[in-house]
Amino acid sequence: MSEEKKVVIKRLKSAQTMGQFMVDYYRELDQAAKAGKPKIAWCTSVGPAEILRALGFLIYFPETHSAMLGTSRMATELIPVANAIGYSPDICSYLTADIGAFCKGVSPLQKAFKIDSVPKPDVLVYNTNQCRDVQDWFTWYSEKFNVPVVGIHTYRGVGEVTDAHLDSISKQFENLVAPLEDVADRKLDMDEFKQIVALSRECSDLWDQCLAKAAAMPSPLTFFDGCTLMGPAVVGRGTQKAIDAYKILLGELEERVGSHDGALEDEQFRIYWDGMPVWGRLGVHSKMFAGLNANVIASTYCSSWIFSALDPNDPFTSMARAYTELFIVRSDDYKEEYIRNKLDFFKCDGIIYHNAKTCPNNTNCLYGMPQRLEQDTGIPSLIIDGDLNDLRLLSDEQTKTNVEAFIEQLEERK
Amino acid sequence: MGASRTKVALLDASRKFIGRAVAKSGTDFAATAQRLLEKALDMAGARKSDIACATATGYGRKNVGFITSDAKTEISCHARGCYHYFPEAISIIDIGGQDNKVIKLDAKGQRTNFKMNRKCAAGTGAFLEEMSLRLDIPLEDMNGLAMQSENMVKLGSFCTVFSATEVLENIRMGKKVPDIVKGLFYSVIRRVLEMDLLSEQVVMTGGVVAHNPYLVDMAAEIIGHDILVPDYPQFTGAIGAALYAMQNRSRQGS
């Protein structure tokens, strides 16, 4: 009988540092929730964290909690709870899993960090650059907790980022300040704000450098590592602690590159991943690819927390630029060019698009892009159907057969 | 080792197809494969010790006991099997029990891309099996019935369950059974043809095609030209697997 090959994936030592960062982060939030101070803001993952931090809020990100509902495979049981109260199984399964968990009074934080429940918010702040679903999601919680919800309404399909975009978005950021000051019960200190923006930028630059190390052959990093290593870039941007963590990670990656030490024993194929991860299958997918000597080295998703435009000298406008230059709100022309550059930079042999059923905003294979890019670059592509959190939308066997067949196709080309 | 049926193909050293066997995959994949191997060996007048090399493909490819080289996916094996019969640039449409595939090969037999059906059973053998149950018509009678149709019923839905509702509606309206069955066949073909653009030469394979050859005629009518079908369309995947095993053996120089 043919045996499944034993798979060796070399874990990064600094993953522990990043893990500890997340433990400390959630414990601090839990303590604040219990003590009633500092105040807590809930923020979307690409929301205006810098303003919130400058006003002294601790920030909780429901999307990260939803990803944990995914990785812990709790989500699929909880999504139907939200479906039953009117949130369709076709919409964001971050939203439905999270609201389902809240309704049931459960959280992965209980098992992971011995934290009873998510920290109660004093205010909710969204940016629709992720999607419109975050607005509905946060508004639901606003009613539940009886706290204010405020938000930024982004542009979509942005080609060139123009002054008109920047004026509008930076004005929206400025208009958030007064209501947030009311909740924070303090004024925004511009020097402090600038300092936070500088820290956020430094964190972003370091994360960018870490991801870029995957261009080395063999790559010291996998996409699946990146999905957990990005935690501090999402929840900790604007803090020194996140910067310190990424300096350690970068050091280890540089060491690996210097000694040609790849994340896989034998990296034969280099794959780009577009779209969300399947959180409940992160480990399974990691092993599946490694077993085929295929390293998924880079992704659009992990790069979504790079904000190179942030400039402490012009915090509002640069935030407007950083959060509008983001891949997810850009035009298809821009997105195609972006992915084309990534395929080239990371020297990829193939690209896999994850068609995440409940996240069309993070899915880029629905309007002919795979065909256009394949024709243009000659780099083969594969679309796999699935979802970020709802495992009912997944066929593991189909995924496995598709991926194996794709790697066989790449093998034949070598 | 397909999701629905297991096939064994024996090739001699000159790549001639000399033995075959097929049966439902059942619940014990390894035992089914073993039993079919013996049957195919009987047909070829050969013994187990005559087997120089073997490989497995399909959903149960990791469950087959007697293979000598790494299992291959059914996508690669269908491609290899079809190119063996038709060595030119082809688009392969494989309709299996559980899934459909459209596989494109260039003139050298190199795969340029492939697609499998998405999440649902639309257009697969499973769809026809479900409908034969609903209509209480033996699966093997479907092809003959479809050919008798004079006024095909058109079914609109992607979904097997919704299609079943449409079928019930047509029964209620007094539509003739052959017209409904042809409508089901048409639905299978439409779902498959929607998957991808096809190159000039199209090859159809798979158990559903083997048992329902009228599907090929209908597909040819829709695309407007003849479709190639290998001699044993249900076995092309297994034949492709055998060809891979032979290639592997010659590479290893054994």
Strands of A58-60's sheet, edge to edge? Answer: A58-60, A40-43, A123-127, A149-152
- Alpha-carbon span A362 to B219, nearest angstrom: 36
B67 to chain A: which residues are within 8 Å by CB? 2
- What is the average pLDDT score of chain B? 92
Q: Which residues of B touch A (CB under 8 A)?
A: 30, 56, 59, 61-65, 67, 70-76, 99, 110-116, 118-119
For chain A, percent of residues with pLDDT exceeding 70: 99
Find which of B61, B69, B111 to mutate to test the A interface (most A CBs within 10 Å of its CB): B111
Contacts of B186 (CB under 8 A, 6+ apart): B152, B154, B155, B218
pLDDT exceeds 90 at position A414: no
Strands (E) located in chain B: 5-11, 17-24, 90-95, 100-105, 111-116, 202-205
Cβ-defined contact of B75 to A381 (cutoff 8 Å): no
Angle between helices A315-324 and A163-184 (to 10 degrees): 120
Contact: B59, A397; criterion CB under 8 Å: yes
Peptide bond into A108 cis (omega under 30): no
Specify the pLDDT at position B3: 85
Per-residue pLDDT, A182: 98
Tell me which residue range forms the domain holding A226. 15-413
- Residues with Cβ < 8 Å from A305, sequence gap 6 or more? A45, A46, A204, A207, A230, A233, A234, A237
Q: Give chain A positions within 8 Å (CB) of B99.
A: 398
Q: Average pLDDT, stretch B181-194?
A: 92
pLDDT band at residue A4 using 50, 70 and 90 as cut-offs: low
Strand partners, A383: A353
How far apart, in whole angstroms, are the C-alpha atoms of residue A169 and residue A155?
9
Give the span between the Cα atoms of A53 and A239, in whole angstroms: 9
Q: How far is CA A181 from CA A53, A184, A193, in A?
A: 12, 5, 13
B interface test, pick of A401, A406, A407, A412 with most B CB neighbours within 10 Å: A401
Which helix (H) or strand (E) element contains residue A385?
strand A381-386
* Per-residue confidence band for B10, with pLDDT thresholds at 50, 70 and 90: very high
Tell whether A393 is within 8 A of chain B (Cβ): yes
A4, A380, A381: residue with CB nearest B62: A4
Q: In this complex, do A1 and B65 lie within 8 Å of one another by their Cβ atoms?
A: yes
Question: Is the per-residue pLDDT at A3 higher than 70?
Answer: no
Residue B88's contacts (CB-CB under 8 Å, 6 or more residues apart) are: B107, B201
CB–CB of B71 and A2 under 8 A? yes
Secondary structure of A54-113 in the HEC alphabet?
HCCCEEECHHHHHHHHHHCCCHHHHHHHHHHCCCCCCCCHHHHHHHHHHHHCCCHHHHHH
Question: Which member of A380, A402, A408 has the closest CB to residue B76?
Answer: A408
Find where tokens 């790079």 sit: A306
B195, B102 contact by CB (below 8 A):
yes
Domain assignment present for residue A4? The answer is: no
Local structure of B181: helix, strand or coil: helix
Mean pLDDT, rounded, for A333-358: 98
Chain B residues whose CB is inside 8 A of the A397 CB are: 59
Each residue's pLDDT tens digit, A145-184? 999 999 999 999 999 999 999 999 999 999 999 999 999 9
- Least confident range from B144-148, B182-186, B248-252: namely B248-252
Burial tier of B196 (Cβ tally within 10 Å: 0-12, 13-18, 19+) = middle
pLDDT reported for residue B155: 87
Among candidates A196, A176, A246, which has minimal Cα distance to A12? Answer: A246
> Region B138-156: what's the mean pLDDT?
94
List the single residue in B30, B99, B111 with the smallest CB-CB distance to A412. Answer: B111
**Residue with more model confidence, B61 or A44:** A44
Q: How confident is the model at residue B119 (pLDDT cuts 50, 70, 90)?
A: low
Is the pLDDT at A141 greater than 60, yes or no? yes
Q: Would you say residue A270 lies in a domain? A: yes
Residue A413 CB neighbours (<10 A): 13
One-letter identity of residue A20: Q
CA-only gyration radius of chain A, Å: 21
pLDDT digits (tens, 9 = 90+) for A43-86: 999 999 999 999 999 999 999 999 999 999 999 999 999 999 99
Q: Tell me, what's the pLDDT at B134? A: 87
**Amino acid A5: pLDDT:** 63
- Tell me how far apart the alpha carbons of residues B39 and A355 are, in angstroms, rounded to a whole number: 43
Q: State the amino acid at position A413 in one-letter form.
A: R
CATH class of B87-229: alpha beta
For A357, the closest chain B residue by CA position comes to B119
Q: How far apart are CA B223 and CA B203, in angstroms?
A: 12
Nearest chain A Cα to B30, which residue? Answer: A1
Indicate if the pLDDT at residue A328 is higher than 70. yes
A195-241 pLDDT tens trace: 999 999 999 999 999 999 999 999 999 999 999 999 999 999 999 99
Same fold, B1-86+234-254 and B87-229: yes
CATH superfamily of the B1-86+234-254 domain: ATPase, nucleotide binding domain (3.30.420.40)
CA dist B233 → A116, A265, A311, B38, B78 (Å): 59, 40, 64, 21, 10
Min Cα separation A398/chain B (Å): 8
Nearest CA in chain A to B104: A409
**What are the residue boundaries of the structural domains of chain B, listed by start?**
1-86+234-254, 87-229
Closest of A412, A275, A362 to residue B114, by C-alpha = A412
Residue A121 CB contacts under 8 Å (≥ 6 apart), including other chains = A40, A41, A42, A60, A141, A145, A147
- State pLDDT tens for residues B19-60: 999 999 999 999 999 999 999 999 999 999 999 999 999 988
CB spacing of B118 vs A385 below 8 angstroms: yes
State the pLDDT confidence band at A1, using cuts at 50, 70 and 90: very low
Residues in A touching B118 (Cβ below 8 Å): 385
User: What is the pLDDT, as a whole number, of residue B63?
Assistant: 85
For residue B116, the chain A residues in CB contact (below 8 A) are: 398, 401-402
Per the model's pLDDT, the better-predicted residue between A16 and A8 turns out to be A16
| HSE value, Cβ hemisphere, 13 Å, CA-based, for A66 | 24
Q: What is the dihedral of CA A74, A79, A84, A85, to 10 degrees?
A: 100
- Cβ of B76 within 8 Å of Cβ of A2? The answer is no
**How many Cβ pairs within 8 Å bridge chains A and B?**
51
Domain count, chain A: 1
Which residue of A1, A2, A278 is the best one to mutate when testing the B interface, meaning the one whose CB has the most B CBs within 10 A?
A: A2
